Chains A and B, each alone.
Chain A
């Protein structure tokens, strides 16, 4: 009894002590465990992309998520159409509360989104020379106002498609293009000579940008002011560009229906063997080859052609990733940008989807060279300096104005000088109306600016040197 009593006594006195110890430990450890859980849990980076990119990257994203349990990528499917995609993104951004960390952006949005303060600069996260290993042309359109806002995922430019069964070599300039087209039409080998995009939408602006440069003009003259420059649509080069396009339609080299053609309509006509030349993007190559139509194996691709004595690149039409201001974890999001736009991902996308890469090293990759014959032309197009759309927050409106004037010219019987003169006046009024300041060529402050057309050629040359 006594022994048990002795045994119990210390037991009785110790049990509360043990209990207190366990309880205390629990009290310390439990909150610690609870606090530690979010740290251990994965960070989710949300990306909004246009529908086709969601499909293209689906398996890559799944692989990434499997390999990175701590950093998960969640992709939201946006609409197919570029403008609808922009509307969706802006809707959330204007409310100041967007659920996404990253946004897949068209090259023509950079200036507007940056000026609106919706993006976070990337140079601090990805380094000052994040773009250095890219092909020169692919580096353009990503920076604005001294900051890097976007990492490009693909390096698309406008290209010229031609029929290898109808001619020995592609035309060297637009005069040759027109002559070859006319002859093939006269011989009855093709119904139409040249098809392109003439519908009043973004595609027509891309065609016009190429043509204006092809005639030695320029759409946008970078300069001072809130808009960052002014338009030069009434210059000789710009008028000649519109004049050539309308001449193609009026003389039957291009069908009248080209005024309602977007990329796919033009592509269908060419793929059916009804046209000698087509202006389109790199994706058209795979569409033609996959389509199994009458021209499979008879299609060549080259860079866009200019008027004799001038040189123009294809319009740059890349998509890239931007980091939205207000993302709660910019560092992780930048990591996702680095991976999703990186060489390994791009290589997979070239192989699976036929995207044009932006990294110079991928253009040297033997496997890609073998499997993707378009790469050589694409590299040339990017290196010779693609045309970048006016780098101003007002681009969307300026583009809208120009499309309407040029499309109106194609469908009515006005003159190119009249239409481009109108486009120029309307652009100047638009800049004054949106910027709240006078422009040198604006009608509110009438001034002759004939000297600027001389300066434009020089600036253009400087810009090209800067690129190369």
Chain B
């Protein structure tokens, strides 16, 4: 049999599955974004001459949420990559109890986001949460962690970083283990410092893994929903509302499914654009092992 035909046949089940759970809902949403489908139309679709998209362009709440979501994704994914790399390097070192340490480090990632968000909500509670108990022990007044827009944003980022850094670390750890130990040994023999090894050998060879982690995390962070919904419900005064939350509100609160689909597609386009940029940025230069 033709080998390429075999390839296609072997991939077919996966492709069909992807088409059903990914492509079809996406195309359906894209079509719905050109229709009015709300409580006014009895949820039946009616063409509305692109009014959904015109509304999107003038929708201050959409732009505010887009900016807030981008800021959230940029900062939290950046922090996660840095911390995740450090964590991966530590976990990569041979030593006693490494297996336990790895399992322990993965724990936050294994927790369901909703449970974790409830946990953080309690940690941030004003005035009874553990953080405020610590402040109180030092004789300080209780602090409302989730009361102002900027602090709510910051503490949402911290909760997200805490949960997803282990995921990045796990990916990068797999990458580190694929780097042959002899390469590092030979550099050590030639008198390279640990900093040089990291910059000249580890990072360049990790690049595909880093871009993979970036891709996954950006996609997740731009679609952030559960963490924000449980932690702050997008508050205070809508300042931490994410695009996914706004789309949800349009469907569930305003019963406007046409516009909700428009928001979903806009978020998707934004996501494609950003991940493409990130991917190109990291893929552009060919791998080089400097001497």
User: Contact: B41 with A435, CB < 8 Å?
Assistant: yes
Interface flag for B55 (CB, 8 Å): yes
Interface flag for A115 (CB, 8 Å): yes
Contact sample, A vs B, 14 pairs, CB 8 Å cutoff: A94-B252, A115-B40, A201-B237, A260-B237, A393-B255, A394-B39, A405-B60, A429-B51, A429-B58, A432-B48, A434-B38, A434-B41, A435-B41, A436-B51
* CA–CA, A433 and B32, complex, Å: 11
User: Contact: B54 with A444, CB < 8 Å?
Assistant: yes
Binary interface profile of A, 70-105, with partner B (CB < 8 Å = 1, else 0)?
000000000000011011001100100000000000
Closest to A87 in B: B253
Main secondary structure of the interface of B (DSSP, over half): mixed
Interface flag for A24 (CB, 8 Å): no
CB distance from A396 to the nearest CB of B (A): 6
The residues of A that contact B258 with a CB separation of less than 8 Å are 433-434, 436
The residues of B that contact A372 with a CB separation of less than 8 Å are none
* Cβ-defined partner of B54 (8 Å) among A200, A396, A429: A429
* CA–CA, A394 and B256, complex, Å: 9
The residues of B that contact A429 with a CB separation of less than 8 Å are 51, 54-55, 58
The residues of A that contact B47 with a CB separation of less than 8 Å are 436
* CA–CA, A199 and B235, complex, Å: 12
CB distance from A316 to the nearest CB of B (A): 21
CB distance from B253 to the nearest CB of A (A): 6
The 7 closest A-B CB pairs, nearest first, are A436-B36, A436-B46, A433-B51, A226-B40, A434-B38, A432-B51, A436-B48
* CA–CA, A400 and B61, complex, Å: 9
CB distance from A75 to the nearest CB of B (A): 24
User: Contact: B253 with A435, CB < 8 Å?
Assistant: no
* Cβ-defined partner of A422 (8 Å) among B41, B46, B52, B58: B58
User: Contact: A396 with B253, CB < 8 Å?
Assistant: yes
Interface flag for A397 (CB, 8 Å): yes
Interface flag for A404 (CB, 8 Å): yes
With A429-B58, A433-B54 known, 7 other A-B pairs at CB within 8 A are: A86-B253, A90-B255, A426-B58, A433-B36, A434-B259, A436-B35, A443-B54
* CA–CA, A422 and B48, complex, Å: 21
Closest to B45 in A: A436
The residues of B that contact A430 with a CB separation of less than 8 Å are 55
Interface flag for A189 (CB, 8 Å): no
User: Contact: A426 with B233, CB < 8 Å?
Assistant: no
CB distance from B64 to the nearest CB of A (A): 8
CB distance from B281 to the nearest CB of A (A): 35
* CA–CA, A408 and B61, complex, Å: 11
The residues of A that contact B39 with a CB separation of less than 8 Å are 112, 115-116, 393-394, 434
The residues of B that contact A200 with a CB separation of less than 8 Å are 237-238
Among residues 165 to 192 in chain B, which have CB atoms less than 8 Å away from a CB atom of chain A?
none
Interface flag for A425 (CB, 8 Å): yes
Interface flag for B28 (CB, 8 Å): no
User: Contact: A404 with B61, CB < 8 Å?
Assistant: yes
Interface flag for B24 (CB, 8 Å): no
Closest to A81 in B: B233
Closest to A112 in B: B39
The residues of A that contact B46 with a CB separation of less than 8 Å are 436-437
Interface flag for A160 (CB, 8 Å): no
The residues of A that contact B255 with a CB separation of less than 8 Å are 90, 112, 116, 393
* CA–CA, A430 and B256, complex, Å: 10
Interface flag for B288 (CB, 8 Å): no
CB distance from B260 to the nearest CB of A (A): 11
Interface flag for A227 (CB, 8 Å): yes
* CA–CA, A437 and B46, complex, Å: 9
Closest to A90 in B: B252
